[in-house]
Amino acid sequence: MGPAWEPQHRSVSAVNDVVRTMFTQWITDQVGDDPDLLAAVVPDYPPTGKRALQDNGSWLRTLRRDHVHLVRAGAQRLTEDGIVDSTGTFHRADVIVWATGFRPNDFLTPLRVTGRDLHRFWGKRPRAHLGVTVPGFPNFFLLYGPGTNLASGGSIIFAAECAVRLIMCCLRLLTTSDGRRIEVRAEAFDAYTAEAREEMSRKVWASPHITHNYYRNDAGEVTGLNPFRLVDYWRWTSAPDPGEYEIG
- pLDDT tens per residue, range 108-156: 877 777 788 998 899 889 999 999 999 999 999 999 999 999 987 789 9
Residue 75: pLDDT over 80 = yes
pLDDT of residue 107: 86
- pTM to 2 decimal places: 0.86
Domain boundaries in the chain? Answer: 1-69, 71-100, 118-247
Phi-psi region of 109 (alpha: psi -120 to 50; beta: other; left: phi over 0): beta
Assign 3-state DSSP to the chain and report helix, strand, coil percentages, each to 5. 35, 10, 55
Asked if residue 78 has pLDDT above 90, the reply is yes
CATH of domain 118-247: 3.50.50.60
85, 91 in Cβ contact below 8 A?
A: yes
Q: Is-contact 70 37, C-beta < 8 A? A: yes
